[in-house]
Amino acid sequence: LPSLSLSFLIQLQEAFSKGLLKPGLNVPLEEPKKAVNNIEGLKMCLAEFKKNLPWVERLDLTNHPAVDVLAKIEGTLNKKQSSGEIDAEDDFQREMYFYRQAQATVLEALPKLKKLQIPTKRPDDYFAEMAKTDQHMQKVRKKLMQKQMAIEKSEKAKKLREQRKFGKKVQVEVLQKRQKAKKAMMTAVKKYQKGMTDKLDFLEGDQEGKKGSTASKSQMSKKGPNAKRKYKDQKFGFGGKKKGSKWNTKESFNDVSGFRAKTAHGKGGKKFNKGGKKNKRPGKETRRKMKARK
């Protein structure tokens, strides 16, 4: 039950006698607390309090923020902002709003100050104490540098990664190209060797860097294919050995290609010399004689 004070009881009685009370339980409603807003008092106070100083003393300005140039260009002008409603939660927008307000003030005030001959630019040789110490400013600078370095590093790393991927790609491509070229060259040479083509076009393909190798190639093409190759071709090539074909015919007798002059005259010494004198050990008798001589 609500606590009933005497005055309240009296009020209730009066209301009942007047017929204002309705049946049921009457509970005193608390009026919602009204915030004091003494407009008259405020205005009076302001009038008393105001000091009518010249603008030079106060240096205050009231203005809307400057037009957001970037937003205008991008076409994202916020209608709300232009009317003055700032979203306090959106940090960036809010700070930009404050910034632009300050900017507008500065733009308006600087010409005024110039008129009044108040300097705004400090001359270079004016030494004075600053609000923040030099030490502190150094720290600030350091931090900024660190941030920049971090950004640069990460960018470099990214680029390197990209390059490596790209480089790998390029390398693979180059190797493949080389292999292809080699293959093509070998097939062309073989074709020529077998006698299928008598054009030496493949030589001209990469003449820029391979002038040395062309000489030996032409020599090779002169001699023709290997002796081994020849023999094998004879035996198995062009459809295999022909059964019961003649040998010691006129052509085979006149074919002097198997003739090696040095071997015939017994002068192909390297192969049969066991590689020449390799510390030949003298025989038993010679050794005994050598020993005896000592």
Partner 1 sequence: VTIANDLLLFFDQENVSLLVLPDLSGKWKNKERVLVFSSRGINFRTRHLMQDLKTMMPHSKADTKMDRKDKLFVVNEVCEIKNCNKCIFFEAKKNMDLYMWVSNVPHGPSAKFLVQNVHTLAELKMTGNCLKGSRPLLSFDPKFDKEPHYALLKELFTQTFSTPQYHPKSQPFVDHVLTFTIADKRIWFRNYQIIEEDASLVEIGPRFVLNLIKIFQGSFGGPTLYENPHFQSPNMCRRLMRMEKAARQKERQMVKEIRLEKRKEVKEVLTEDVTDDVFVTPAEEKPKEVEHEAPRPSKSKKKKKLKLTELKKRTLLKRKGLR
Contact positions vs partner 1 (CB under 8 A): 35-39, 41-43, 45-46, 48-51, 53, 56-64, 66, 84, 86, 88, 94, 97-99, 101-107, 109-110, 113, 118-122, 124, 126-132, 134, 136-141, 143-144
Residues 6+ apart with CB under 8 A from 194: 225
Residue the block writes with tokens 């790998």? 168
- Residue 282: C-alpha distances to residues 18, 250, 273, 285, 291 (Å): 158, 52, 17, 8, 12
Which tokens hold the place of 58? 């106060």
Give the C-alpha separation, 232 to 89, whole Å. Answer: 91
Residue 150 C-beta: closest distance to partner 1, Å: 15
Question: How far is residue 20 from each of residues 17, 23, 26, 156, 294, measured CA to CA in Å?
Answer: 8, 10, 11, 85, 159
CB of 31 to partner 1, least distance (A): 14
Output 143 or 289, the one with its CB closest to partner 1.
143
Using the minimum distance from each CB to partner 1, give the nearer residue, 111 or 240. 111
Q: Cα separation of 195 and 230, whole Å?
A: 12
Supply the minimum distance, in Å, between the C-beta of residue 8 and partner 1: 27
Report the C-alpha gap between 64 and 61 in whole angstroms.
10
| Cβ contact 265:233 at 8 Å | no
Q: Is 251 helix (H, G, I), strand (E, B) or coil?
A: helix
How far is residue 142's CA from residue 145's CA, in Å, rounded to a whole number? Answer: 5
Q: Shortest Cβ distance from residue 94 to partner 1 (Å)? A: 6
- 96 vs 189, which CB is nearer to partner 1? 96
Q: In this complex, which beta carbon is closest to partner 1, that of residue 27 or of residue 53?
A: 53
CB of 100 or CB of 192, closer to partner 1 = 100
- Output the smallest distance, CB 82 to partner 1, in A: 12
Which residue, 60 or 251, is less far from partner 1 as judged by CB? 60
Residue 161 C-beta: closest distance to partner 1, Å: 31
